[in-house]
Amino acid sequence: MSDRVFGAVCVVAAVGMAWAAQDYVAPISYEPVGPRAFPRVLAALMAIGGLWMVVRPGADEAGFSAARFRLIGLSAVAIFAYAALFQTLGFIVATAVMTIPVGMAFGGNWKQCLAVGVGFGVGMFFLFDKLLDVVLPTGVLSFLLGGR
């Protein structure tokens, strides 16, 4: 499978994600952004990344080796674990834990990946939870962040 085919699959999946999110409505509107904003933003980013993979020069030369398959598999397992542990661990910890194997799959060492994961988790938590008023689970850090 070439990068161009994988990019096209990402674009199709992103369109499906955005279409599925159109019916996300909170029964009580307590958030200014609403529940459909986050999946739509993720779908847009995924579509942009997929389009880049389709149109970028040299995409077909990358090939699809067993090592690349393992990297994609490791990333997929990390993302499924992230979804399963999101409520229990909370947004910040789950995000930090998920970025370690995903970052290492793309060439980072575990210290770099942990630092980026913690920074990204904390930054996104405060952006969404505090600035945009989108409630995110605090999980094991509820004693620090005022539990939910």
Tokens of 125: 């938590």
CA distance 36 to 21: 5
For the segment 4-46, what is each residue's pLDDT rounded down to a tens digit? 777 888 888 888 888 887 777 766 666 666 667 778 888 888 8
**Percent above pLDDT 70 for the chain:** 83
Residue showing tokens 């509107």: 29
CA distance 40 to 15: 9
Identify the segments of the chain with pLDDT beneath 50.
Answer: 1
Residue showing tokens 């067993």: 66
DSSP 131: I
Q: 81 — phi, psi (to 5°)?
A: -65, -40
pTM: 0.61
